[in-house]
Amino acid sequence: MVRIQKVESFYAKLRESATSLSSQNPLLIFPSTSDVDSLCALKVITHILESDSIQYSCFPVSSFLEIHKYAGPAGLCSTSSESPPVTILLINWGCHRDLKLVLKLGPAARVFVVDSHRPIHLHNLSDYNEQVVVLHTDDDERQADLAYDFDVLKLANESFQLHVEEGGESDEEEEEEEDEEEEDEDDDDDDGDGDRPSKRRKMGDGVKVFKKLKRDYYKMGTFHGKPSGCLLFELSHMLRKNTNELLWLACVALTDQFVHERLTDERYQAAVMELEQHINSSGNIDKITSVTLKDGTKVRAPDCSRISYEEEPRLMLLREWTLFDSMLCSSYIATKLKTWSDNGIKKLKLLLARMGFALIECQQKFPYMSHEVKRKMKQEFDRFLPEYGLNDFYYRSFLRLHGYSSRVSAADVVYGITALLESFLGSGGSSASKQFGEAYDALSLNNLDKLRSGMQQAIKVQRAILRQGSAAITKTGCIRSGRKFRWVKIEDSMDAKYLGYPQALTKFCYFLMDALREKGARMKPMLCACASQQPGKLLVVGVCGKPRLGAVRGNAFGNAFRKAAQESRADYFHELFESSWIVLDASAVNSFMIRLTEKL
């Protein structure tokens, strides 16, 4: 059974496989280093594994083939059935490619996948592919941002069987090309419908329908399912192993998808409500926050740590920054007021003045800002911001209160941790895994200092986004516009240091799209290229706009990227965990863009 629909049975299977007597190896966990969600999910699942005393080894990876460096090809790919079984858990990567093929799994290896990337490769879902076990809950399928109205499981089974019958040797890419050919042929068929009795007809309508469905399935483009952190938190809840700490991780995982615009507002609201219920039921409301000393004085309890939910403003890292700078740089306000221009700054100052906040007060570090401003902030923002078209400035979010003075919001944690994850230098994957370690530490409450340093880094990244974004918007000809998409290349080498990472570049794309919308430009998908951390290489990220409920397709860049890169015959690296991320030779970018225009 390869698609598991219940989290508990997924875990039961995982545990059974990892603890089987014949296994010489501990459970191997490979979390993705590219998002905070995977970090949260890792922390939750390891907590559960630890309480069951299951030994594991965990190797953070940032691309598909890195796994072989750690697992040793002997264990993964060995073809003899004698070799000791290996159990592998992939966190937040892998399910959109045919894992059995890409990782060259031998019969002894068994892969478990918890991943929020969609669509899931049909071969991974198939019942007959015993070696790959994907967790894809029913709820998740029903609530997905993009819906399809056919039985995926049946489709998956047929697809896999066909694949096996065809020899099963063909490479994944070949298969995709094959699909393409079939598509063309099908078109021909439709044209000459009545004229010639096609041989193909005899293959039966079943196969044809199935091929069409399969094409539809992949053509939807990429999107995201339920955050892995939340999924695994549910598991811990069902196993009665949930703690407040894990609940907070689930909140951060959800906020990660929210901050990086990977889910619709509706789904976010639903998930927030679910988590709020968990927060209420795990005693966060009536926690003792003050103790009375012998002489009757009341003091706040020092070791109190709780989660609360509140309406938060869309101002990034407000608690680490000043109100003025946060408003100046946060994408939400900056793109509306155009704070990079003199006029925009004037508008911003005027707004503050109308709200009755002294400028000098707003430029004070937030912790030292006057209490009155903090108190009046929400009310005044709600009163004046709608005039500027900022209607949903406040959104429901989570806060972690710890000790006397520490108040961190989930969104700020996401910004900080993402910045930590994305501040490795050089080309080696090892430094990415080092940063993963840093981020891992920073996510626990005892290491606020590390988290703070991450937040400071995030501030630098955001400033770079504002600098480069405003430059691209104001300079004509900087953003090149194609028929189906726009694209821009970041030339500044100083800022490339901050922006040459997938998530930072994604934020940059969203910033540009928002800014262009304010200028009245038609909405088009956005591509952005920036020098990556490897010398001579460019990272290209494609963004299709914020996911909307009932949208027809997600991010369509994934397949197009691969094909365009193949055709342009350049060196490319498409093994990152999001198919809309690709690394190219710096010289090949122009020809890549030309091919891409043809593809889309």
Site residues, another protein (CB under 8 A): 24-26, 28, 46, 49-50, 53-60, 69-72, 430, 433-434, 436-437, 440-441, 444-446
Q: Nearer Cβ to another protein, position 273 or 425?
A: 425
**Closest separation between CB of residue 58 and another protein, Å?**
4
Q: Do 542 and 561 form a contact (C-beta atoms < 8 A)?
A: yes
Q: Nearer Cβ to another protein, position 29 or 539?
A: 29
Retrieve residue 546's tokens. 């914020």
**Closest separation between CB of residue 164 and another protein, Å?**
32
**Closest separation between CB of residue 377 and another protein, Å?**
33
- C-alpha angle 233/103/78, rounded to 5°? 115
Distance CA 290, CA 293 (A): 10
User: Can you say whether the dihedral through the CA atoms of 542, 545, 548, 551 is positive or negative?
Assistant: negative
List of residues 6+ apart from 185 with CB closer than 8 A: 200
DSSP state of 526: E
Q: Is the peptide bond before 227 cis (omega within 30 degrees of 0)?
A: no
**Closest separation between CB of residue 548 and another protein, Å?**
38
Tokens 């919308």 correspond to: 517
**Closest separation between CB of residue 282 and another protein, Å?**
19
Q: Nearer Cβ to another protein, position 313 or 454?
A: 454
**Nearest to 309, CA basis, from 191, 440, 410:** 410
**Closest separation between CB of residue 288 and another protein, Å?**
22
Q: Nearer Cβ to another protein, position 57 or 590?
A: 57
Distance CA 12, CA 240 (A): 14
DSSP state of 386: G
Chain CA centroid to CA 593, Å: 25
Retrieve residue 79's tokens. 């073809």
User: Coil, helix or strand for 104?
Assistant: coil
**Nearest to 30, CA basis, from 2, 71, 83, 77:** 71
DSSP state string for 165-233: HTTS-S-HHHHHHHHHHHHHHHHHHHHTTTTS--HHHHTHHHHHHHHHHHHHHHHT-BEE-S-HHHHHH
**Closest separation between CB of residue 425 and another protein, Å?**
15
Distance CA 528, CA 506 (A): 8
Q: Nearer Cβ to another protein, position 51 or 198?
A: 51
**Closest separation between CB of residue 447 and another protein, Å?**
8
**Closest separation between CB of residue 289 and another protein, Å?**
22
**Closest separation between CB of residue 56 and another protein, Å?**
5
Identity of the amino acid at 575:
E
Q: Nearer Cβ to another protein, position 18 or 516?
A: 18
Q: Do 90 and 30 form a contact (C-beta atoms < 8 A)?
A: yes
Chain CA centroid to CA 302, Å: 35
List the end-to-end C-alpha distance of the chain, in Å, as a whole number: 36
Q: Nearer Cβ to another protein, position 60 or 525?
A: 60
**Nearest to 121, CA basis, from 132, 105, 107:** 132
For residue 194, CA distances in Å to 210, 286, 556 come to: 22, 74, 34
**Closest separation between CB of residue 433 and another protein, Å?**
4
Q: Do 450 and 443 form a contact (C-beta atoms < 8 A)?
A: no
